[in-house]
Amino acid sequence: MAIPASLTEDTPHLREKTYKVGLVGRAASTFRVEEVMIYFDKPRQNQNQDAEFTASILRYMDTPQYLRKALVKVEPRLRFVGILPPLRAPHHQVSGKRGDLKPGTFRQGVVTEVRGRTSLVDIGVGETAFVQGNFPKGHRITVKLTKIKDEIEAVRLDDAEIRIYWGFNVTVPKLPLAESTRKMGFDLVISTSRYGREINEVFPDLQSAWAKSKKTLVAFGSPAKGLEEILKGEGLGLKEYSDFSINMIPKQGVETVRTEEAIYASLSLLNILG
């Protein structure tokens, strides 16, 4: 999904900003989003700081708790991460003990040392796993446990080998929405807008396109501007930008729907498509 760099601009305090991003992170995991793309929605402003704040909170949330000390740098903008709701996604196993492990189990870990052709990986059980291959120290990888005897042995897994939901990546192209979308190479683009067609009107066609798509993007507007206005600033209309422009909340009872509210409403409907 694509969210704006200005996601938290209407929220004054760091604590509330953190909580708002936390809602987005929960939505991303709940509805199995694989990538969160943060686009610049104000081309005339430097939005690096806002985008990186949102990215840092989301990355923190997606990191298993037992890896955070090794992978997350302590910094002022993470001051209130203690209020974030836990994801409890499949890759967020508890740290556990050796006795809890079984061959075939997937775990995320961080490379702590390299010895010849073997990498030592902290998988959160109080001792390291020996993984075939040389990987950069401090690198986060997913492994499959193969033996649990005197030593814990494992092999690294590629994303294509993981058949269950395994969290989300966060990307910050540092570009406007349309350019970001082209750069990432999506084959189906859905824009959410109160000026789009109602979801029930496009559902059959959307269902067919969804089934054929290998990389779908769902784009959301900002607290101050909807997608129509944001794209207008880029010289585009909703129809030129997206394959489907959909009003996910027909007959809304409020003047404006907040970005985080639109995310939950939209993804819950799209979840029906699989």
Confidence (pLDDT) at 100: 77
Q: What is the pTM of this model?
A: 0.94
Any residues with CB less than 8 A from the CB of 254 and at least 6 apart, and which?
A: none
Regarding whether 125 and 245 lie in a shared domain, the answer is no
Distances (CA, A) of 136 to 37, 112, 117, 140, 156: 25, 9, 12, 9, 13
Location of structure tokens 């784009």: 219
C-beta neighbour count of 97 within 10 angstroms: 11
Rounded to 10°, the helix 14-30/48-62 angle is 50
- Would the pLDDT of 177 be above 70? yes
Residue 166 lies in a domain: no
Both 64 and 179 in one domain: the answer is yes
Residue reference for tokens 């029930």: 200
State whether the Cα torsion 64-67-71-72 is positive or negative.
Answer: positive
Task: Looking at the structure, tell me whether residues 250 and 144 fall in a common domain.
Answer: no
Are 111 and 211 found together in one domain?
A: no
- Do 198 and 238 sit in the same domain of this protein? yes
Number of structural domains found in the chain: 2
> Do residue 75 and residue 123 come from a single domain?
no
Q: Which domain holds residue 139?
A: 98-161
Mean per-residue pLDDT, 197-201: 94
Side chain identity at 137, as an amino acid letter? K
pLDDT value for 95? 65
How does pLDDT run across 216-257, given as a tens digit for each residue? 999 999 999 999 999 999 999 999 999 999 999 999 999 889
Q: Is residue 93 part of a domain?
A: no
pLDDT digits (tens, 9 = 90+) for 13-57: 999 999 999 999 999 999 999 999 999 999 889 999 999 999 999
Of 109, 137, 161, the one marking the end of a domain is: 161
Look up the CATH number of the domain holding residue 196.
3.40.1280.10
